[in-house]
Chains A and B, each alone.
Chain A
């Protein structure tokens, strides 16, 4: 989207400056519909879920993280909404929301994780939002398949990618947010245009139409979709290159990547995180439950092991029953610390393809794909 860029820039810039002046620098704002969230950026809103909210398999919208590269577009009028489908198609389309609702609807449970979740753990520090554990959530997305929309448009068999553009617009000369998706993933039956999230309208998560690319990094799942174009080549805009690329060959920490050796990120790695106890929490001596989540991109989680002694001995955690590709599993381990004192708790996931979470997550200049074995410290105190 670019036709309203200048006027939108003026409006948003004026609004941002005046609202900042009105609030003052240290007066955190409330985000409509959201519980208190870890605030990384007041505008555009970048919000992390505190780990204590991760107590259900489906993450409620009220607790779901928010990542925006550009200011979110003003609320789209559902009756005026149009999805443009063009490019290498026999029959370009302008679809209304009703047209999309008439297509067969599918529910896809999928975990969405920001590509940079865990960036704050990397040493040396890298620029970008310093997410820790909470730029992730699991939701039930529902809507038509992208493949059905492309078939309706008569997509050319030599088209190799789709470009997806959201209604959000770059400020100043910030690049527009456009992402490319290889046709094989676009045609996958689980790749949908979500019209609802957990049975509700997705609002800040992409109302009225959001692309869902299950198992891939969150940035692939473009919000506020207004255009899909079938193309022969991948898009070369900033958010495809150099944005959201990962070194083909691991780098010594703190060193720059060779641009020619950066690759587009696709499926996500295997990962688990500890959500309770919280890092550096104090607990009372007695039975305790260690909790967390684990997911593995396009695979399912096979196993989660937990250590309560800094990685010397490991025990299998209890996993939540649904063993699905694309969606996380929650896990628990009952633990009775033998003595008071400081304990290092760790979690390690294995997926259905046999991938195991590493001890060290490879450093990379953009801080993507953090998936090292998770680790929290907890102090166990005698009861008074």
Chain B
């Protein structure tokens, strides 16, 4: 019984740690990626851990400052891994002025 309680507490701690990492990763995505492109470009992709890791190498090579790379990678894999369902397509709003001939 005592062992079970200890195991349960350990699992809770592990989940909490993961969530903290994912939160740090989300924040890092906002800081590191958005000077050059919107987050939608990231969030519309579904890639394996190895491929996301290579993307981070590429972006670092292009001058992106990533301070919390480990958390960023975990965040990308957890939310935009290749096992996740594709995101529904987003549409822009109509930018054609009313009355303009199309």
Query: Could you tell me which residues of chain B, from 67 to 102, have a CB within 8 Å of some CB in chain A?
Result: 82, 86, 89-96, 100, 102
Interface pair A17/B35, CB less than 8 Å apart: yes
Q: Which residues of B2-54 have CB atoms within 8 Å of chain A's CB atoms? A: 34-41, 44-48, 51, 54
**B46 shortest CB reach to chain A, Å:** 5
B92 and A36 contacting across the interface, CB-CB below 8 Å? yes
Cα distance, A170 to B91, chains bound together (Å): 26
Q: Are B37 and A127 in contact (CB under 8 A)?
A: no
Which residues of A, 44-103, contact B by the 8 Å Cβ criterion? 44, 46-47, 50, 60, 62-63
- When the two chains form their complex, are residues A44 and B63 in contact, meaning their CB atoms are under 8 A apart? no
Chain A residues near B89 (CB, 8 Å)?
38-39
Chain B residue, CB-CB nearest to A26: B90
- Segment among A171-179, A229-237, A328-336 that sits at the interface with chain B: A171-179
Is the CB–CB distance between A129 and B41 below 8 Å?
yes
Interchain nearest-CB distance for A375 vs B (Å): 17
- A13-55 vs B: 1/0 string, CB under 8 Å? 1001100100001001111111111111111101100100000
Known: A16-B35, A34-B92, A40-B41. 14 other contacts (CB 8 A): A16-B38, A28-B93, A33-B96, A35-B102, A36-B94, A37-B91, A38-B90, A40-B40, A50-B91, A125-B47, A127-B45, A127-B55, A130-B44, A172-B35
Contacts of B48 in A (CB 8 A): 124-125
Measured CB to CB, the closest approach of chain B to A330, in angstroms, equals: 18
Contact A28 B39 (CB under 8 A): no
- Which of A28, A29, A31, A46 contacts B41, CB < 8 Å? A46
Report yes or no: A173 in contact with B62, Cβ–Cβ below 8 A: yes
A32 touches B55 (CB 8 A): no
Secondary structure call for the A interface: loop
Contacts of B93 in A (CB 8 A): 28-30, 36
A152-192 vs B, Cβ < 8 Å mask (1 yes, 0 no): 00000000000000000011111100000000000000000
Q: Interface of B with A (CB < 8 Å)? A: 34-41, 44-48, 51, 54-55, 61-64, 82, 86, 89-96, 100, 102
A130 touches B45 (CB 8 A): yes
A39, B46: Cβ atoms under 8 Å?
no
In Å, the complex CA distance between A13 and B36 comes to: 7
Residue of A nearest to B93 (CB): A30
Closest to A171 in B: B36
Would B102 and A16 count as touching, CB distance under 8 A?
no
Residues of B contacting A42 in the complex (Cβ-Cβ under 8 angstroms): 38, 40
Which A residues lie within 8 Å of B86 (CB)? 120, 130
B40 contacts which chain A residues (CB < 8 A)?
A: 39-42
User: What distance in Å separates the Cβ of A221 from its nearest Cβ neighbour in chain B?
Assistant: 22
CA distance A172 to B60 in the complex (A): 10
Q: List 29 A-B contacts (CB under 8 A).
A: A16-B34, A17-B34, A17-B35, A25-B39, A28-B90, A29-B92, A31-B92, A32-B95, A33-B96, A34-B94, A34-B96, A35-B94, A35-B95, A36-B92, A36-B93, A37-B92, A39-B91, A41-B41, A42-B40, A44-B37, A46-B41, A47-B92, A60-B102, A125-B82, A126-B51, A127-B47, A127-B51, A170-B62, A172-B64
